[in-house]
Structure 1
Amino acid sequence: MTSHLRSAWRRAEHSRLLRWAAALLAVVLVVEYIVLPQLVSSGNILSALRGLPLMLVLAAVLLEACSLASYSWLTREVLPGGSRPGFFTLFRIDLADLAVNHTVPGGGATSAAARFRLLTRCGVQSEDALSAATVQVVGANLVLAGLFSAGLLAVHGTTAGGRYLTVAGGVVLVLLVISIAMLAVLDRHLAGAVHAVRAMARAIRFVSPVAAERFVRTIAGEVQMFRRDPRRLAAAVVLAALHYVLDAACLWVFLAAYGHVLHPAELLLAYSLANLVALVPLTPGGMGLVEGILVPMIVGFGAPDHVAVLGVLSWRLVQFWLPIPAGGLAYLSLRLGILRRVGRRTGTPDSTPVAAVTRRT
């Protein structure tokens, strides 16, 4: 028995090492062949930023801050029950989540686990935190897919490479329909969905059938909550859309500052496609993947090469790199503030299991 356990542990350890090695190799290749050429061709990005009017840079930073704030308001909307933390607490939790997501390869699962822990330590029930995170991520990605479809329809027939974009649009549309159908099944045929999930859990043996059923019923409860409260559903959709539109507007400001005004439909198409591809957990926060898609697409829409590179890298400086130190400071303020107070009341400095729900870039 002991030898079997040891061999199983060695296999798991080797598998983990292989995963980390593959992730590291992906990061190296992306940085070597996508990120570094862009950095070299653009010169000193900080010097370029210093040459921009201060008001434009501040406007771009403000748009990005409003984008992050929209996501935190979305968190408040999807959290059920009456134990929701305040907006400023949720905003700091989301910043800490982003910092982890942007620094760990395939960091969506790790950052989601950290976010889950912070939410539960701030008074959110474990089931509520898990179901809300799932609904929020799935819903936000559905909105992103909808924005991509809207952008594709708006520029259809006017862009180069239209065939490939049409294929991508078809794939996104199919996934969109499947996701909506799954939510409808949870809402209207919960018993059948529970039966299917329990059977799958018994087959794969990685998840307890009881835990799988509890998870599905919790998600179904979230879906029914939104169906009973259309105002809340509308607010969640608007906030998810604002999160992405304001982020894209930040990119638009930088491109305009460097001399190219991109059509809003073209911006929406390029931005949403890059972020959909970045959902694949290969690099931290889609590093390299986002730049590698955005730059050639923006060039294809008529922007000069140097403007596309400078605009995208300036935007990523604000959207990707700036939240890392900001998230560290946010986590520190949580540890010195609400987490310390909660720990003193409960006598438990740490808590709760972790969840693994992959999040946005």
Structure 2
Amino acid sequence: MTKVREAWHRLRHSRAVRWISVAVVMLLVFEYVVLPQILGSDSVISAMQRLPVVLLVVAGVLEVLSLCCYSALTSVVLPGSVKPRYFTLLRIDLSDLAVNHVVPGGGTTSAALRYELLTKSGVRSQNALSAAMVQVVGANLLLGVLFGVGVLTALGEVRTNRYFVIAGITVLVLLALSLAVLSVLDRHLGAAVRAARRAARLVRIIKPESAERFVRTMAAETAMFRRDPRRLAGAVVLTACYWGFDAACLWTFLAAFGHPLGPGELLIAYSLANLVALAPLTPGGVGLVEGVLVPTLAGFGAPNEAAVLAVLSWRILNFWLPIPVGGLAWLSLRFGVLRGGRQSGARVQ
């Protein structure tokens, strides 16, 4: 208990925690007080209170399933036979998500926290880096696939909008290039390493050694998945479920506020907003996601008020609730299974 009190005392007097708390409060005020007034919609909380409890439970379950699938994906992409238990991985991912949602450009900071927690739970350093790299790249690639599928599915609705068509073609071209790059890594690793080091020296953003490590890690993971197609299939299915359950949660709120979308339109709007959120400009893409998603839904015929209420209701479950839940998950790890430093790994149960 003494250690817990000391840690709580340090947190209370931490300047970083105070700034983060102020930033979170300002974001909440902007998103749920200022933004609805600007867009002319009803209060989000009061609108949600009028929804049936069963519908809110369904939306919550869909979001929980999405997070659970992501942690199952973490287990699948982690190399090696010794891994933390599933519940430990789930708490690590929730901690990662909470930091990502409160720190501007939080991907780097949350990745460092995730790496620390994984290594303390018994995962080898190289395996932790490899899993993070493959998981992020693979999830974003599949998100691009979903956007392309959405454009093809809703081609009749979007073919008159040249912006959607151009975006769809661009994403498909980038996906084709990504597959070509993976093929080159598999067959011509030496040439790929030399090209990566040369590019790193030209752009001077990352060190040539880091670029080489990235290329070799991706090549090793590609070869591993090629040798184990069942593992690759499992990773693809879990990634699709991760995005799919989250998109279904958004669809549930859209239907609740009177404007259910077709699957193609939903995939276009959802994938486009999340692709834009990859830019490390705001914590977790807050403001970017809403700024893209609301007008996109309105472009598909959703009334402005319904679009705002549905998106902001979804963001409560998707963005805001994981912050306190992730904080509690981190505390449970810090003063529980990971107390005292590195722990021995265990098979996932």
Aligned counterpart, 2:34:
36
Which moved further from structure 2: 331-340 or 200-209? 200-209
Aligned counterpart, 1:50:
49
Which moved further from structure 2: 330-339 or 31-40? 31-40
Please state how far the C-alpha of 1:219 moved relative to its aligned partner: 2.2
Please state how far the C-alpha of 1:33 moved relative to its aligned partner: 10
**In the alignment, structure 1 residue 213 sits paired with structure 2 residue 238:** no
Is the contact between residue 77 and residue 232 of structure 1 (CA under 8 Å) also seen in structure 2? yes
Please state how far the C-alpha of 1:201 moved relative to its aligned partner: 4.6
Q: Structure 1: how far apart are the matches of 2:186 and 2:197? A: 17
Q: Structure 2: how far apart are the matches of 1:291 and 1:279? A: 13
Residue identity opposite 2:79 in structure 1: P
Q: Structure 2: how far apart are the matches of 1:337 and 1:163? A: 54
Q: Structure 2: how far apart are the matches of 1:209 and 1:341? A: 36
3-state SS of the aligned residue for 1:252?
helix
Deviation by residue 1:61-105 (Cα, 9 ceiling, x = unmatched): 110000011111111111101221111111111111111111111
Correspondences of 1:125-144 after superposition (within 5 Å): 125-144=124-143
Aligned counterpart, 1:234:
233
Q: 1:165 to 1:120 in 2, by over 3 A?
A: same
3-state SS of the aligned residue for 2:339?
helix
**In the alignment, structure 1 residue 66 sits paired with structure 2 residue 89:** no
Q: Which runs of 5+ in 2 are unaligned?
A: 1-25, 345-349
Aligned counterpart, 2:291:
292
Aligned counterpart, 2:117:
118
Aligned counterpart, 1:82:
81
Residue identity opposite 2:184 in structure 1: V
Q: 1:106 to 1:118 in 2, by over 3 A?
A: same
Is the contact between residue 35 and residue 288 of structure 1 (CA under 8 Å) also seen in structure 2? no
Residue identity opposite 2:36 in structure 1: Q
Q: Structure 2: how far apart are the matches of 1:235 and 1:119? A: 21
Residue identity opposite 1:68 in structure 2: L
Aligned counterpart, 2:14:
none
Q: Structure 2: how far apart are the matches of 1:34 and 1:340? A: 38
Aligned counterpart, 2:347:
none
Q: Structure 1: how far apart are the matches of 2:202 and 2:124? A: 29
Aligned counterpart, 1:3:
none
Q: 1:259 to 1:231 in 2, by over 3 A?
A: same
Q: Which runs of 5+ in 1 are unaligned?
A: 1-27, 346-361
3-state SS of the aligned residue for 2:267?
helix
Deviation by residue 1:34-81 (Cα, 9 ceiling, x = unmatched): 983335522321111111111100110110000011111111111101
Please state how far the C-alpha of 1:342 moved relative to its aligned partner: 4.1
Q: Structure 1: how far apart are the matches of 2:158 and 2:333? A: 47
Is the contact between residue 32 and residue 312 of structure 2 (CA under 8 Å) also seen in structure 1? no
Aligned counterpart, 1:281:
280
Q: Structure 2: how far apart are the matches of 1:207 and 1:296? A: 36
3-state SS of the aligned residue for 1:281?
coil
Aligned counterpart, 2:103:
104
Is the contact between residue 35 and residue 291 of structure 1 (CA under 8 Å) also seen in structure 2? no
Q: 1:90 to 1:214 in 2, by over 3 A?
A: same
Aligned counterpart, 1:177:
176
Please state how far the C-alpha of 1:160 moved relative to its aligned partner: 7.8
Q: 1:211 to 1:277 in 2, by over 3 A?
A: closer
Aligned counterpart, 1:9:
none
Residue identity opposite 2:156 in structure 1: G
Residue identity opposite 1:329 in structure 2: L
Residue identity opposite 1:184 in structure 2: S
Q: Structure 2: how far apart are the matches of 1:206 and 1:172? A: 25
TM-score (norm 2): 0.85
Residue identity opposite 1:53 in structure 2: P
Q: Structure 2: how far apart are the matches of 1:94 and 1:86? A: 13
3-state SS of the aligned residue for 1:143?
helix
Please state how far the C-alpha of 1:217 moved relative to its aligned partner: 2.1
Please state how far the C-alpha of 1:259 moved relative to its aligned partner: 1.6
Percent pairwise identity? 61
3-state SS of the aligned residue for 1:246?
helix
Correspondences of 1:140-219 after superposition (within 5 Å): 140-159=139-158, 162-201=161-200, 209-219=208-218
Is the contact between residue 71 and residue 239 of structure 1 (CA under 8 Å) also seen in structure 2? yes
Please state how far the C-alpha of 1:197 moved relative to its aligned partner: 2.8
